[in-house]
Structure 1
Amino acid sequence: MDYEGTFDRTTWQALTVVVTLAALLATVVIWKRRGVVAGLRTLAVAMLPVAAYLTGALRMFFEIGEAVARFVTRLTFSPVVWAGVVVLGVAVVLLLVAGVLDRRGVGRRPRKDGAAGSGEETGRTRRGRKAVPAPGRGDAGEDADPELDDIESLLRKHGIS
């Protein structure tokens, strides 16, 4: 294991021993007060620092903590990083606006096959043909329901047929 940087190997070992001994002391107390199940759980947690040291994960967790601290410090005090945050904010806003415009059908270009974007303005379908009312329904007819006609006209107005 290569433990270079701010701590040497002896410091990592001492840190592991101290944390493990404190956890073992807590294990004894919990075992006596709460019983076998709680004691076994605490013993399992007490073994984690030793496992983290032996696998190198202890150093990795420490490096992750240092990296997060450096990031937060740079974020707080660096105008260049704040410029990056502003650019990120503008990018998110642009993506949200593009999604809203796309849902509303604004700004679409006609496709190469000659079909219009949404056909809402001209009363045409996406394929460029006139919207044809469903058979048996329409303005003429005695069995036509006026409420259904209102709904159908609203749907046609929004390009849904």
Structure 2
Amino acid sequence: MLAETICSAVAAAGLGIAAITAYRKRFLTAARIAAYSLVPLGLVMTGAVEWLARTAFSPVAWAGFGILGAAWVLFMSTRTVERRRGGTRKERKAAAKSAAGPEAVAPAASAPSLGRAAPPRAANTTANAGEDFSDIEAILKKHGI
């Protein structure tokens, strides 16, 4: 009952402020203030304020929120553990079978290249890194840096 009275008073005060603002020829601002002030009145009329007041002061409702929070924590912790282990038990078994079997490797190695040749791999990556830096040094010298 108290919450409904407060919301109604806030709505009435807001409409009064909107009327004063409209009197000062600021109609857009007055319309916006009127819209904001009608929200609490609409909540009172729909019964949402009464429901919220009943819920906020109900120990059973707070216990329900606590149980929902505990369920969420359990769900998230199991997902975290599942990700660290590498998936569910079925996914781990399937991955172990595919890794152990030579059939999984053979088709990938003998897959057609669709007319494209694979780029050659460098035997020594440190030599390529040195060449890359020499190109950068040449560009920097060209610009006087």
TM-score normalised by length of structure 2: 0.50
Larger RCO (CA under 8 A, 6+ residues apart): 2
TM-score normalised by length of structure 1: 0.46
**Which structure carries more helix by proportion?**
2
